[in-house]
Amino acid sequence: MKKLSLLLVFLLSFSAKSQDLDLLLLAKDDTSLLMKNYMSPVMEGMLYSLNNGWYHTAKTHKKLGFDFTINANAAIVPNSSKTFQFNESDYQYLSLESGDSKIQTVMGSNNNSIIGVRIPDGNGGNFKVATIDMPDGIGGDVPLNAVPSPMLQVSIGIPFDTDISIRYLPKINTDDVDGNLIGFGVKHNLMQYFGPLGRLPLNVAILGGYTSMTTTYNIDKVNGQEVDFKLNAFTIQTIASLDFPFVTIYGGIGYDKGTSTLKLKGTYGLDYDITDSNGNVINTVRESVSNPINMDFDANGARGTLGVRFSLGFFKIYGDYTIKEYNTVSAGIAFSFR
């Protein structure tokens, strides 16, 4: 959770090479668009990742039976999401000063692109107030170039061959970070409606799961400066498994849906120099901007999963692979009873 928060607040230290980072906020809506393009693989990867890991069998527990699962998901960022095209016609205050117009995203590699920030001069022209070195991506430093999401999950059997599941991460509440993840799922076994077929090792179920994640990074409470992140992910699937004493083969098909927002809130005072044609400073101006960044992300599409689980009594170990826009690997251990 905290690593994720620090990644989101990375937009506040957008380039360690530049001393004029804060002036990027003068570009207003352009800043949101640039940051959305840059951060998109992480935000979409989280949405796809959090919709995984809900099950490792279609079989439901007996009444009051339960399992405790430690699960890790990793959404693999496709090559198409490692870069984005900087089209100057999409921006009013930003321009490409030098370097490649095909810019590496946060999950890409090294960047050589330099972005210029301009503001209106009141006479139909503009002033260039800063240049920003686009930061390098971190994709090469992340295993599988994937967006991870670990979590804990508890499932319990209730009447009507149904399991309810709760997933969570321990809540973070410090002076700098407030974070929370919680999710709810329902799995209903359909084999009970097929009479004698229910005695087969085959189990078929329908599953729905919802996960919510919120993170707030407090920058300056006095001025209301904070980074606010919210995510909601939903999946519905038909799943099946062949359950044998020591091994289970499971899979499913379904649909994922998710939305997230990333906002930079508060008021920020920005100082910039106005220079003449010779580069001499002729004036220094202070300007304030409020709530300068507001980004929305969404991810949705069909999915298909195939996995295997090994059982040693109540101890289970499992892994699966899901094909979707961001293919996802899931693995974990579970302690299951009844």
Residue 198, helix vs strand vs coil: helix
246: buried, middle or exposed (CB in 10 Å: 19+, 13-18, 0-12)? exposed
Report how far Cα 179 is from the mean position of its chain's Cα atoms. Answer: 14
Positions of the chain with pLDDT lower than 70, given as ranges: 1-21, 121-126, 198, 275-279
> Given this model, what pLDDT does residue 121 score?
64
Residue 23: predicted pLDDT: 78
Q: What is the pLDDT, as a whole number, of residue 327?
A: 96
How many distinct structural domains can be found in the chain? 1
Q: How many CB atoms lie within 10 A of CB 159?
A: 7
- Enter the tokens of residue 331: 């693995």
pLDDT of 11: 46
Give the predicted TM-score (pTM) of the model. Answer: 0.86
d(CA 128, CA 287): 15
pLDDT for the residue numbered 143: 78
Q: What is the pLDDT of residue 175?
A: 74
Residue 25, pLDDT score: 82
Q: What is the DSSP string of 305-324?
A: EEEEEEEETTEEEEEEEEES
Structure tokens at 26: 């003068």
**Measured distance CA(276)–CA(87) in Å, rounded:** 28
Task: Tokens for 52, please give them.
Answer: 């995984």
Distance CA 317, CA 315 (A): 7
pLDDT digits (tens, 9 = 90+) for 29-77: 898 899 899 989 989 999 999 999 999 999 999 999 999 999 999 999 9
Task: Look up the domain containing 229 and give its range.
Answer: 2-337
Note the pLDDT of residue 133. 85
Nearest alpha-carbon partner for 119 in 26, 24, 35: 26
- d(CA 95, CA 75) in angstroms, rounded, equals 32
pLDDT of residue 299: 93
